[in-house]
Structure 1
Amino acid sequence: MNFSQGRRDFVKGSAIVAGANLLTDSSILRASTLSAPPARQIRVIVWDERQPQQKQVYENFLGNQIAEHLRTHPDLSVKSVALDDLDQGLSDESLGNTDVLIWWGHIRQAEVTPETGRRIVARILSGNLSLIALHSAHWSTPFVEAMNERTRQDAERAYRVPGEGKVEITYTPPKPRYQAPSYEARPTPFARVRKFPDGARKIEVRLPNCCFPAYRPDGKPSSVKVLKPDHPIARDVPSAFKVSRTEMYDEPFHVPEPDEVILEERWEPGEWFRSGMVWQLGKGRVFYFRPGHETFPVFKEPIPLRILTNAVRWLASPKSAEPTGPKGS
């Protein structure tokens, strides 16, 4: 959310160098190799509701399908958990041993409490965790809490300016909680500002709905364009590609303005969506990847899986400009 510019233009938005000296003595080379510490694997949790409908396409559930793919990469250590696991698979010990949390939720979003979402966000803020929210996880508790926190950060930066008088900021959640906005609704988050003669200001910030006005689960194909081909998430991804069967979501997506929009998705009737977005949240990051629906084989297609793998590697290394794995994987 860019409070200084408003939301009026959101629709427009859219090798390591080798050492110079070569060792020729094979014994020195062997000793050097043996003494080098092994690179630590990236620790990933794939969290999934595991609703029964998934088995129409994913015989062992959608989350397990993603986890099995990620396990083919030796630089990744992957754990698959579910809503019905002990502690919902989200104990402090588990989260403390995780670099990237991938989240699939849909029907049972409300069973994950805001307190759990805030625990996850606290780890993101500290730089100990990053989050990937997939498709219908736009309403998942961790993603909503992350977008709320980003909204608060944006508002604090925009309105608490030294020397500009007293400021009171209040935050109002959307009501009712799980209701899609209309096309005519003002995109959230937004702020209403009241100014007083003494220079004081009262700011009411409407928190993001984290939804959009239309969807269509008909399994029609979509066309995806890579807007940032040099981004690590887009590594080895074609500049344009098709998702063979997917659900349609249509803009405007009610979320804070992202720091980067990497992918844009369109459908033949004219709908479009910012389908790969990144937010910096404290020292961590959040990536929203839109293609999906539990009854379509999106995560059996190679390009979405490649994007997901790239995202895991990049999110695990926030200070790195490049993903850490081999090209083409």
Structure 2
Amino acid sequence: MNITVWNEYRHEQENEQVKAVYPQGIHEVIASFLSTEHNVTTATLDEPEHGLTERVLGQTDVLIWWGHKAHEEVDDDIVARVQQHVLDGMGLIVLHSGHFSKIFKSLMGTSCDLKWREADEKERLWVVDPTHPITTNLPSYIELDKEEMYGEHFDIPTPDETVFISWFEGGEVFRSGATFKRGNGRIFYFRPGHESYPTYYNEQVQQVIHNAVKWAQNTHTPKHHYGNAQPLEIIKPKNDDSQ
């Protein structure tokens, strides 16, 4: 499978605390554990065309997206390009604050807003659909000692499937793993991954992402054709009984 990991890669360069956690960038950590099974490339915001050229996307089975502070700097034409590839069958995994990215909001059609708080609080991600392939080889919950809180209401369309629900030490809950289908593409939103916490080093979080790329991969099903269509059979003229 060919995977592209996209990261705006700003916090890691501008914030020493974040750089200490992810010195080569969040994208490189994710790429490193996925590369044990797949062909993985990375792309970042400041590359030409944000690293998401037509050629790159054409070779990508699953695109993983992490963004936070620079959502508005993503070019609308690139967003439209990514969206078309998702509709054509490319898988998309949106991580953490990517919920507010242009690509996720455009595919959801809602504000994708939520409550949030940074208080170093415990998070438990409960598996609520143990039959789902994204939960393969996981326990009944994943516990993270410190994470940023996201709380309901999460303004997204009703998910096709809710895979995880989080509980936070402050009392909130959140739909932390949700799937959607758009066109021929599969989308998975996965909540954990605030930039100042080492969440992506957690083996169970890595297992979720491993499972998710397998679930979301482009299966290259036939593309749909729209507009005026020629008949597949000969249409015989009907007798006009009114004569």
Report the TM-score when normalising by structure 1: 0.64
Structure 2 SS opposite 1:94: helix
Deviation at 1:114, TM superposition (A): 2.6
Which entry has the higher C-alpha Rg, 1 or 2?
A: 1
Alpha-carbon distance between aligned partners in 1 of 2:173 and 2:130, rounded to the nearest angstrom: 19
Q: Residues 196-211 of structure 1 correspond to what in structure 2 (within 5 A)? A: 208-211=110-113
Query: In structure 2, what is the equivalent of residue 59 of structure 1?
Result: 23
| Structure 1 position 69 matched with structure 2 position 4 | no
Query: In structure 1, what is the equivalent of residue 74 of structure 2?
Result: 112
Q: State whether residues 81 and 89 of structure 1, in contact with CA within 8 Å, keep that contact through their aligned partners in structure 2.
A: yes
Alpha-carbon distance between aligned partners in 2 of 1:297 and 1:239, rounded to the nearest angstrom: 21
Alpha-carbon RMSD: 1.5
Q: Quick one: which amino acid aligns to residue 6 of structure 2?
A: W
| Structure 1 position 254 matched with structure 2 position 181 | no
Alpha-carbon distance between aligned partners in 2 of 1:56 and 1:255, rounded to the nearest angstrom: 33
Deviation at 1:115, TM superposition (A): 2.5
| Structure 1 position 49 matched with structure 2 position 11 | no
Deviations 1:206-241 (A, max 9, x none): xx11111x2112221101110111111000011112
Query: In structure 2, what is the equivalent of residue 181 of structure 1?
Result: none
Deviation at 1:317, TM superposition (A): 5.2
Q: State whether residues 113 and 141 of structure 1, in contact with CA within 8 Å, keep that contact through their aligned partners in structure 2.
A: no
Query: In structure 2, what is the equivalent of residue 147 of structure 1?
Result: 108
Alpha-carbon distance between aligned partners in 1 of 2:159 and 2:150, rounded to the nearest angstrom: 17
Instruction: From the two aligned structures, give the one with the greater strand fraction.
Output: 2
Alpha-carbon distance between aligned partners in 2 of 1:318 and 1:262, rounded to the nearest angstrom: 21
Deviations 1:258-306 (A, max 9, x none): 1000000001221010000000111111110001210100001000110
Query: In structure 2, what is the equivalent of residue 304 of structure 1?
Result: 205
Q: Residues 106-255 of structure 1 correspond to what in structure 2 (within 5 A)? A: 106-127=68-89, 129-148=90-109, 208-212=110-114, 214-255=115-156
Structure 1 SS opposite 2:99: helix
Q: Quick one: which amino acid aligns to residue 263 of structure 1?
A: F
| Structure 1 position 98 matched with structure 2 position 57 | no
Alpha-carbon distance between aligned partners in 1 of 2:218 and 2:84, rounded to the nearest angstrom: 18
Alpha-carbon distance between aligned partners in 1 of 2:34 and 2:144, rounded to the nearest angstrom: 20
Deviation at 1:311, TM superposition (A): 0.3
- Give the alignment partner of residue 184 of structure 2, picking from 269, 283, 292: 283
Superposition misfits of 4+ residues, deviation over 3 angstroms = none
Change (3 A) 1:88 1:62: same
Deviations 1:181-203 (A, max 9, x none): xxxxxxxxxxxxxxxxxxxxxxx
Query: In structure 1, what is the equivalent of residue 48 of structure 2?
Result: 86
Structure 2 SS opposite 1:218: strand
Alpha-carbon distance between aligned partners in 2 of 1:141 and 1:113, rounded to the nearest angstrom: 9
Alpha-carbon distance between aligned partners in 2 of 1:72 and 1:111, rounded to the nearest angstrom: 32
Query: In structure 1, what is the equivalent of residue 240 of structure 2?
Result: none
- Give the alignment partner of residue 293 of structure 1, picking from 165, 182, 194: 194
Report the TM-score when normalising by structure 2: 0.85
Alpha-carbon distance between aligned partners in 2 of 1:126 and 1:80, rounded to the nearest angstrom: 21
Alpha-carbon distance between aligned partners in 1 of 2:66 and 2:120, rounded to the nearest angstrom: 18
| Structure 1 position 316 matched with structure 2 position 217 | yes
The count of residues paired between Structure 1 and Structure 2 equals: 216
Aligned residues with identical type, % of pairs: 38
Deviations 1:90-110 (A, max 9, x none): 100100000100001001110
Alpha-carbon distance between aligned partners in 2 of 1:219 and 1:296, rounded to the nearest angstrom: 9
Alpha-carbon distance between aligned partners in 1 of 2:47 and 2:214, rounded to the nearest angstrom: 26
Q: State whether residues 91 and 218 of structure 2, in contact with CA within 8 Å, keep that contact through their aligned partners in structure 1.
A: no
